[in-house]
Copies of this chain bind each other. A is one copy, B any other.
Amino acid sequence: MNLVARRNSEQRETTMVRVGDVIIGGPQLVVIAGPCAIESYEQLLSTALEVKRLGATMLRGGAYKPRTSPYSFRGKGEPGLEILSQIKALTGLPVVTEVMDARDIERVADVADMFQIGSRNMQNYTLLTEVGKTKRPILLKRGLAATIEEWIYAAEYILTEGNDQVVMCERGIRTFGTYTRNTVDITAIPALKELTHLPVFLDPSHGTGRWSLVSPVALAGIAAGADGLMIEVHPQPDLALSDGKQSLNFEHFAELMAKVGPVAKAVGRKIN
């Protein structure tokens, strides 16, 4: 592969991705936290204030949710974006949210500081091309069964349009395993670091599918060299409209954040 995405003699350093005031890919680790789906103003506000207080510097929250069944909750859509916009203004946290359809890009761009491309769309090439044209930072989640090479090629679809603000996000792959929702491919983090110049994130929430496993796997990601974490947090995971089983409540998120600092320091990084 002779790709724009490759780390090579011309591009040795990790690309800095700027989302508002947040810099991804530098010495400082970045934690993005928030609910899987935006459910209400109160839910998002309370979560945003709490994760900000605990050290997260970006907010996540889905308005358009890809769901396996057409009969599941598919997100609040535009009203969700409106809530996201208000909470962003209130808290000052830059926000990342998923865009699933090229026709939604403009609308989502009104609110989102960073577009998320979800796993199911990692090879939706027309969508990749369109977000490539926007020059907005992109969080590119790994496809469920994507090889490292295919994932890099997906990033290349964006980079080749002139947008180099791409963050790769490992979120677990599909294997024969049944105890966890997916299998976190921890090795993907250093592998991407040696192959590309793009920052790498880990999403241990989707990666494990079980809240009790999120913290140790999050720490593993940092030790392996990740530039940041994306964590699902919900005020009351038992009542969440989606992904409750893998969401941390505020207390567990606080416990995780208390552990992140020492591990970050041990590998020469810092958090806040």
Contact = CB atoms under 8 A, between A and B. Distances in A.
Contacts of A70: 125, 153, 156-157, 160
B267 A263 contact: yes
Q: How many copies of the shown chain assemble into the complex?
A: 4
A47 interface: no
Given A70-B157, A176-B174, A145 B148 contact: no
Given A183-B185, A223-B220, A123 B120 contact: yes
Contacts of A225: 216
Interface in A23-73: 66-71
Contacts of A187: 180, 183-184, 207-208, 213, 216-217
A189 interface: yes
**A interface bracket (residues with beta carbon within 8 Å of B):** 35 or more
Contacts of A208: 187
Interface string A205-218: 00110001100110
A252 to B, nearest CB: 14
Chain B CB within 10 Å, residue with most, of A121, A148, A216: A216
Given A186-B184, A217-B224, A179 B191 contact: yes
